[in-house]
Structure 1
Amino acid sequence: MKLIAAHLSLEHKVTSTVEDIRQHGFGQRPAFKGLIAEVGGQFAGLCLFFDSYSTWAGRRGAYVQDLVVDPQFRGSGVGEKLLRETIIYVSATGGQYVRLSVDAANAQAQRFYEKMGLEWCREERIYSIGGDAFTTMARERG
């Protein structure tokens, strides 16, 4: 997701490789699904998502991990089409919602999602653990 990282000047945070994506996205148990947009045979954008489940709502849905449009195609409707097609796919496969998170500094993406009708969930905060802290906790026995 180097395009997103470059847009946010966070390239140093991307550690995944093409092989990582190949290994985890394909095979018997793919970790994600993706829709790719092309314009004139050229890559224009990608929406990468995975299955989700809400215990509160008792419903299936999807979490959009990445929605990215190549800079030369921004403003041309590619992002809107990718998000709409993702929602159509999720609905057709039994899902009833889509969730995603946006980098706090990415005001352009926030405006886009709000324009598309997505709402910011003020009641929630996203927490994460990774790296050494994750490895340490995964090895601990309570």
Structure 2
Amino acid sequence: MVRAAASSLRIRPASAEDAERIHSGIRRIAEHLGEEDKITSTVEDIRRHGFGDEPAFKVLIAEMDGAFAGLCLYFKSFSTWRGTAGAYIQDIVVEPQFRGAGIGQALLWATARSVKEQGGRYLRLSVDADNPGAQAFYRSNGLTHRETEKIHAAYDASFEALAEAGKTIEFSREQER
């Protein structure tokens, strides 16, 4: 595929009207990894949590000649070691017909610019261990990988068990916001 001409590529912030497109992009990632059955989010979840007074995430939409070409979904993060704000990229997806045209790189660059303009000083993300193409893409754009770091998560029953155990701890919610 020929690289996109800068004049035909447009990157813009997503709006609530893009929720279906965003959800479709997330499903595309899962399909690529053969894990469609793991997607439990809905279009309404994207709309409810991504837009409004306190959005949980931001999305940049890439369009090529007016057609949806891809997206980058990210949210604020803070590094206690660096003492600065940044962002965690949850998903970057490029539609198959636009792969190889520089859309992913443009989304990564635009995200870094947006985060910097908001006072952030870094990006973080994780890449599926079975996705060597994505790993090579990020390396080629200067992102580094630390073998010593492992992502841990609590979902479903394990999260519920942690939250339930938290009920036994007394704490004040005065400064929580």
Is it true that 1:10 corresponds to 2:38 in the alignment?
A: no
- Which residue identity does 2:123 align to in structure 1? V
1:28 positional shift = 1.0
Matches for 1:48-63 after TM superposition, within 5 Å: 48-63=73-88
> What corresponds to 1:71 in structure 2?
96
RMSD: 0.8
- Which residue identity does 1:24 align to in structure 2? H
* Structure with the greater alpha carbon radius of gyration: 2
Is it true that 1:116 corresponds to 2:102 in the alignment?
A: no
> What corresponds to 1:107 in structure 2?
132
1:123 positional shift = 2.5
User: In terms of mean alpha carbon deviation, does 102-111 or 122-131 score higher?
Assistant: 122-131
- Which residue identity does 1:35 align to in structure 2? L
Q: Distance in 2 between matches of 1:14 and 1:34?
A: 18
Taking every aligned residue pair, what percent have the same amino acid on both sides?
Answer: 54
Is it true that 1:90 corresponds to 2:89 in the alignment?
A: no
1:139 positional shift = 1.1
Q: Distance in 2 between matches of 1:126 and 1:33?
A: 22
1:48 positional shift = 0.3
Structure 2 gap ranges (5+) = 1-25, 170-177
